[in-house]
Chain A
Amino acid sequence: MPTPIPSPDLVIAAPEALDSATRGFWAETWVRFKRRRLALLALAYVCFLAIVAIFAPAIAGTKPVVCKYKGHLYFPALGYLNSKWENPVFYTDRFRRIYPENLKAKDPESWAIWPLVYQDPYRRVREGEWPDQPGNPTGVEGVPSQYNRLGTDQSGKDVFAQMVHGTRIAMLVGFVSMGISAVIGIGIGATAGYFGGWIDTLLSRVIELVMCIPALVLILALIAILEKTTIWHLMVILGATGWTGIARLTRAEFLKLKHIDYVLAARALGVGRFRIMFRHVLRNALAPIVVPITFGIASAIITESALSFLGFGADPPNPSWGTLLNAGRTTIEQTWWLVLFPGLAIFFTVLAYNLIGEGLQEATDPRLREAGK
Chain B
Amino acid sequence: MLSFLIRRTFIGLITLLLITFVVYGLVRNMPGTPLTVAAAESDPSKTLSDEDLERLNKIYGLDKHWTQAYFIWIGNVAKLDLGRSISRKQPVTKLIRDRVSATLILSVTSLILTYMLSIPIGLRATVRSGSLEERSISTVLYMLYSLPAFVAALFLQILIAVKLGWLPLMGIVSDDYETMSLIGKAWDICLHAFMPVMCFTYGSLAYYSRFIKSNMEEVIRQDYIRTAKAKGVHPTNIVLHHAFRNTLIPLVTMLGLTLPGLLGGAILLEQIFQWPGMGRLFFEALSGRDYPTIMGLVLMFSFLTLLGQLLADVFYAFVDPRVSLS
Q: Which residues of A contact B (CB under 8 A)?
A: 2, 4-10, 205, 208-209, 212-214, 216-218, 220-222, 224-225, 298, 302, 305-306, 309-310, 325, 328-329, 332-333, 336, 339-340, 343, 346-347, 350-351, 354-355
Q: Which residues of B contact A216 (CB under 8 A)?
A: 267, 282, 286
* Distance of A9 Cα from B271 Cα, bound (Å): 39
User: Is B138 within 8 A of A7, CB to CB?
Assistant: yes
Q: How far is the CB of B289 from chain A (nearest CB, A)?
A: 9
| Contact across chains for B294 and A7 when beta carbons are under 8 A apart | no
Write the chain B residue with the least CB distance to A8.
Answer: B217
- B102 contacts the other chain (Cβ, under 8 Å)? no
Q: Which of A209, A222, A328 contacts B15 (CB 8 A)?
A: A209
Q: List 10 A-B contacts (CB under 8 A).
A: A4-B142, A4-B210, A7-B138, A209-B19, A213-B22, A217-B298, A306-B148, A332-B169, A336-B162, A351-B142
Q: A221-B27, A309-B268 are in contact. List 8 more A-B contacts (CB 8 A).
A: A208-B15, A209-B18, A209-B22, A224-B31, A343-B154, A343-B155, A354-B142, A354-B145
| Cα distance A6–B29 in the bound complex, in angstroms | 43
Q: How far is the CA of A333 from the CA of B142 in the complex (A)?
A: 30
Q: Is B147 an interface residue (CB 8 A)?
A: yes
Q: How many A-B residue pairs have CB under 8 A?
A: 122
- Asked if A328 contacts B146 (CB within 8 A), the reply is no
B146–A351 CB distance below 8 A: yes
B262: Cβ under 8 A from any A Cβ: no
**Residue on B with the closest CB to A217?**
B23
Task: Give Cα A306–Cα B149 distance, bound, in whole angstroms.
Answer: 10
Number of contacting residues on B, CB 8 A? 50
Residues of B contacting A208 in the complex (Cβ-Cβ under 8 angstroms): 15
Across the A-B interface, the 6 shortest Cβ-Cβ residue pairs? A221-B26, A351-B146, A5-B214, A224-B30, A343-B151, A339-B154
Do B302 and A213 have beta carbons less than 8 Å apart? yes
- Residues of chain B within 8 A (CB-CB) of A310 are 267-268, 271, 283
Closest to A329 in B: B154
Q: Which residues of A contact B315 (CB under 8 A)?
A: none
Which chain B residues (219-234) contact chain A, with CB distance < 8 Å?
Answer: none
- Contact of B207 (CB < 8 Å), options: A4, A218, A346: A4
CB atoms of B154 and A5 under 8 A apart: no
Chain A nearest CB, measured from B254 CB (Å) = 9
A221 proximity list for chain B (CB < 8 A): 26-27, 29-30
Closest chain A CB from B212 CB (angstroms): 9
Residues of A within 8 A of B147 (CB): 347, 350-351
User: B213 touching A7 by the CB < 8 A rule?
Assistant: yes
A214 touching B298, Cβ below 8 Å = yes
Contact with A along B142-175 (1 / 0, CB 8 A): 1101111011001101100011000001000000
What is the distance, in angstroms, from B286's C-beta to the closest C-beta of chain A?
6
Within 8 Å CB of A212, what residues of B? 15, 19, 302, 305-306
